[in-house]
Amino acid sequence: MALSIGNAEASQDVDLKPCGHQVGGHFSSGKHAATFVDSSGKFYKAFQDDIRSAREAGIYEAIFNDSEEADVCKEDMMAFRPFVPKYFGILVNGDLKMLALEDTCKDYKKPCVLDAKMGLTTIYEWADAKYKAKNADKDLVTTQSKLGFRVTGFKVWQADKGEYFVADRHYGKELTPQTMPAALAKFGTNGLVSPFDVYCGSKGAVAQIHALKKWFETQQSLLFFAASVLIVYEGAATRAEDVNVAIRFIDFAHTFPSKGNRDDNVLAGITRLAELLQRVGEGDTQ
């Protein structure tokens, strides 16, 4: 399929196929899938809404653009880069517009993926009424308002069965602070490696989330609503050394310049997520 990237100047052939490892978010966009991947290791997210998608593209541009942006601090953006997928611009094909990102799952044989939507609230004062109505209730009835995050979905490879266990958005909505540890324990094992291997240790999920937390403790550039921490590891791993955990912060459709404020809403959720993963890694699922 011939597609153009960015300002429709460069054109290239891209072999898109619907993304098989998506766990959260929109699964369709009109008559198309909502997400695609290609053989070069890129992930494509279809525009759902021009304003939100343009906003997300603007945030990625602020993160990766080396020029001084009036609204954000350049040092904050540079320090944030390791935590987000690389950004390759906007791709256009007829009426299909997509953000082109690095596919966080590209190096995995059997990617295990969990999407945790971050923040004690996903609502912002200046959001439109439709967004507020849709999300206010979800924040209250899910773990969002209690833990500062909710699981929107995960998939974990089960080595003994040779198939994935898929937790969809309904599974995530039903979770409570009491049942969350068991859910995180379920995600953290393929039956051969353990939640300790995935969550603990110097390259585990907790250490990487702590690094992200450090960034949130100092950055005063962005406020994130309804953004997610994506946790990925290798479901084909048979040894702790091969779990290859990756953490990425994604989904900037509701992200705004913070004008010198810290994002305490998301910081609270990140702190809690790291604490819970540590506990679960150490075998405490109560």
The least CB distance from residue 168 to ligand ATP, in Å, is 11
Of 26 and 259, which has the nearer Cβ to ligand ATP?
26
The interface region with ligand ATP, picked from 98-106, 121-129, 142-150, 264-272 by CB under 6 A, is 98-106
The least CB distance from residue 43 to ligand ATP, in Å, is 4
The least CB distance from residue 232 to ligand ATP, in Å, is 8
Partner residues linked to 114 by β-bridges: 154, 231
For ligand ATP, the binding residue among 57, 63, 105, 193 (CB under 6 A) is: 105
Please give the distance of CA 51 from its chain centroid, rounded to a whole number.
Answer: 20
The least CB distance from residue 22 to Mg ion, in Å, is 10
222/261 Cα distance (integer angstroms): 8
Of 19 and 192, which has the nearer Cβ to ligand ATP?
19
278/204 Cα distance (integer angstroms): 10
* Contact by Cβ (8 Å): 199, 281: yes
Binding mask 12-51 for ligand ATP (x = CB under 6 A): ----------xxxxx-------xx-------x-x--x---
Of 253, 233, 257, 231, the residue nearest 243 (C-alpha): 233
The least CB distance from residue 131 to ligand ATP, in Å, is 10
The one-letter amino acid at 116 = A
Of 81 and 282, which has the nearer Cβ to ligand ATP?
81
Instruction: Tell me the C-alpha to C-alpha distance, in Å, between residue 6 and each of 52, 117, 182, 234.
Output: 17, 28, 44, 32
Of 165 and 196, which has the nearer Cβ to ligand ATP?
165
Of 101 and 200, which has the nearer Cβ to ligand ATP?
101
253 binds, among ligand ATP, Mg ion, none (CB under 5 to 8 A by kind): ligand ATP
274 binds, among Mg ion, ligand ATP, none (CB under 5 to 8 A by kind): none
For ligand ATP, the binding residue among 44, 73, 110, 115 (CB under 6 A) is: 115
Binding mask 253-272 for ligand ATP (x = CB under 6 A): x-------------------
120/264 Cα distance (integer angstroms): 9
Interacting residue ranges for Mg ion, rule: CB under 5 A: 25, 251
Interacting residue ranges for ligand ATP, rule: CB under 6 A: 22-26, 34-35, 43, 45, 48, 52, 56, 85, 101-105, 113, 115, 228, 230, 250-251, 253
